[in-house]
């Protein structure tokens, strides 16, 4: 066996890292978004505040972005930079994506203002 890996094994390693990033990305996106959307999914008292837009649109788009953005960033960055630098680029893009999501996305977190304690 030679000490230098073949180009095929190098490509397989890059592909494996991309798949791993997809799994980690969707797990991190889910761990970030699901607790924030829990009230919209549960709906509070008698499911009064259930928000189907969060359930059917927002969460699937967030999970899809978590699945797609990290491997695409890895694929683009690994062509231009060394693998460790590409990993740092992926980490920076994921951090910026989560920061942007936290800044932009505010699902309902508590009961409506009109609902207070009873008499």
Give 16-72 pLDDT, tens digit per residue.
Answer: 888 899 999 999 999 999 888 887 877 777 777 788 888 899 899 999 999 999 999
**How many whole angstroms separate alpha carbon 87 and alpha carbon 93?**
10
pLDDT for position 2? 56
* Cα–Cα dist 87/92, whole Å: 9
Enter the tokens of residue 24: 């980690």
For tokens 């030679």, name the residue.
Answer: 2
CB atoms within 10 A of CB 67: 18
Residues 58-114 have pLDDT tens digits of 899 999 999 999 999 989 999 899 888 988 999 999 999 999 999 988 777 766 555
Tell me how far apart the alpha carbons of residues 115 and 119 are, in angstroms, rounded to a whole number. Answer: 12
């Amino acid at each position: 066996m030679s000490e230098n890996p073949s180009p095929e094994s190098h490509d397989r390693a890059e592909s494996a890292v991309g798949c791993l990033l997809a799994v980690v990305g969707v797990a991190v996106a889910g761990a970030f978004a699901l607790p924030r959307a829990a009230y919209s999914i549960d709906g509070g008292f008698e499911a009064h505040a259930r928000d189907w837009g969060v359930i059917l649109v927002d969460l699937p788009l967030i999970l899809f972005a978590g699945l797609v953005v990290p491997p695409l960033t890895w694929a683009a960055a690994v062509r231009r930079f060394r693998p460790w630098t590409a990993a740092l680029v992926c980490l920076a893009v994921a951090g910026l994506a989560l920061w942007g999501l936290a800044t932009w996305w505010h699902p309902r977190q508590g009961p409506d203002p009109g609902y207070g304690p009873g008499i």
